[in-house]
Amino acid sequence: MFSPLPTLSSVAVCCFFFSTIATKVEAFSASQSLAASRVGGISNDASSTPQDIFEEFTKFLIEHQTDMICKIEQADGSENSFSRDGWGAFANDNGSSEQQTKSGGITRVIQGGNVVEKGACSLTVIRNGVLTADRAATIQGRQQQQEGDLVVQEGDIYSAAALSVVLHTRNPFVPTFRSDVRIFLVKSSTDDSSVAWFGGGSDLTPYYLIDEDISKFHNDLKQMCDLHFPENNEFNLSHAQMKQLCDEYFYLPARSEHRGTGGIFFDDLPATPATLAFVKDVAAGWMPSWLPIVEKNGNKEYTEEQKHWQCLRRGRYLEFNLLYDRGVKFGLANANPRVEGVMVSAPPKIAFDYNHVPAKGSEEERLLKVLKEPKDWTVVLN
């Protein structure tokens, strides 16, 4: 049974996980255990164990990070390329066998590009952590068990993997793009049973509304979700639910406005071969959903006033991260936090003007109206 919960980003994607389940290393998403797969559980292939799915998905994330960075650099067209900051098993870029047995990650960052003013693509893999009593109780308290499911306990072994991307664009007519996918696995310390589940999402933060671009982004997501989750599916999951969850999470209550125009968010999704295919499709669709917007609008001329408006809206982006993003808050609260990793999704330049009010009838005002009252973009496409 699917159960909705909030989201994050990869250095913040692992953090939210570990704020209530384990220890923060690069940021994940903490509450992910209402529904989980088990050995021999809901699956298109009963021989695929949660461990098998975890390993296949982790390999996919490693390969997808490299592929995606190549596409972004090609689209950016500048001399700037992504830096590489590897740690743990990924400290050296040599494909070490330790990557299959030990924890680590890779933070890739591009700054000052033609298209991407600042972007980050972060991979995190945590292996063989041990659940404390408090964190096991947190998971157990949220678990909706079926007969034969593993009851998570103190001393059980957990592993997690996540890939996230945040792309802050130079041109204010190209939206900021944020996405992540993740998996969390728990293995019993007393027998061979295990559970695993997926989370993730994808969303846009535009500075100017180009309706057909935003509508196509949402319609592409809906088409993919409908393919994997037709009516009356076993997970009781739909595009409409995932869109609503995304809108609800990326919300600034003090401002009574949403951060952007949303997308999808999902969590607590049982890890089966079928849902593995869905989560892979989510990640595979990131660049095809965003790069056409770059090609269309990346070279549009803009004024200093329009750039300043982009910086004002980026201020809201940072405001959300610092005040409401659970992964960022938890990561910064830890002793000796990896601050650069936690804050890697922050925009490069922001602005805060006192009591800024857009002109009546302006495009800036139109954006604010949509951010205060989200709309169904799937019916906008002409």
- For 275-330, what is each residue's pLDDT tens digit? 999 999 999 999 999 999 999 999 999 999 999 999 999 999 999 999 998 778 87
Is residue 297 a part of any domain in this protein?
yes
Burial class (CB in 10 A: 0-12, 13-18, 19+), 61: buried
| Within a domain: 4 | no
**Residue 110 dihedral angles phi and psi, to the nearest 5°:** -120, 140
Establish if 8 belongs to a structural domain.
no
Give the pLDDT of residue 41. 36
Task: Answer whether residue 157 is part of any domain.
Answer: yes
pLDDT in tens, 344-370: 999 999 999 999 999 999 999 999 999
Residue 158, strand partner residues: 129, 186
User: Where on the phi/psi map is residue 285: left (φ > 0), alpha (ψ -120 to 50), or beta?
Assistant: alpha
Residues 6+ apart with CB under 8 A from 327: 8, 9, 11, 12, 13, 14, 15, 16, 19, 24, 27, 28, 29, 30, 342
Residue 104 backbone dihedrals phi, psi, to 5 degrees: 170, -175
143-165: per-residue pLDDT in tens? 655 545 688 889 999 999 999 99
Domain membership flag for residue 235: yes
Q: Quickly state the pLDDT bin for 98 (edges 50, 70, 90).
A: low
CA distance 81 to 63: 18
Question: How much is the average pLDDT of 236-256?
Answer: 96
Confidence of residue 137 (pLDDT cuts 50, 70, 90): confident
Q: Is the pLDDT of residue 36 over 60?
A: no
pLDDT at 260: 97
Q: Quick one: pLDDT at residue 381?
A: 58
Question: How much of the chain exceeds pLDDT 70, in percent?
Answer: 83
Query: What's the total number of domains in the chain?
Result: 1
Kindly state the tokens that stand for 183.
Answer: 């998996």
181 or 191, greater pLDDT: 181
Q: Which amino acid is at 351?
A: A
Phi-psi region of 27 (alpha: psi -120 to 50; beta: other; left: phi over 0): left
Asked if residue 152 lies in contact with residue 195, where contact means CB atoms within 8 angstroms, the answer is yes
Residue with tokens 């973009």: 377
Tell me which of 57 and 46 has the higher pLDDT.
Answer: 57
How confident is the model over 69-95, as pLDDT tens digits? Answer: 999 999 999 999 999 999 999 998 766
CB 28 within 8 A of CB 182: yes
| Higher-pLDDT residue of 8, 242 | 242
Between 3 and 10, residue with greater pLDDT: 10
Give the model's confidence band at 375: pLDDT under 50 very low, under 70 low, under 90 confident, else very high.
very high
Q: Where in the sequence is the domain holding 44, given as residue range(s)?
A: 13-379
Give the tokens for residue 215. 């509508």
Segment 248-277 shows an average pLDDT of 95
Does some domain include residue 6? no
Does 8 score more than 50 pLDDT? no
Query: Which whole number is the average pLDDT over 186-204?
Result: 92
The CATH number of the domain where 25 resides is what?
A: 3.40.1500.10
Confidence of residue 42 (pLDDT cuts 50, 70, 90): very low
The residue ranking higher by pLDDT, 53 or 192, is: 53
Domain annotation covers residue 5: no
Residue 288 resides in a domain? yes
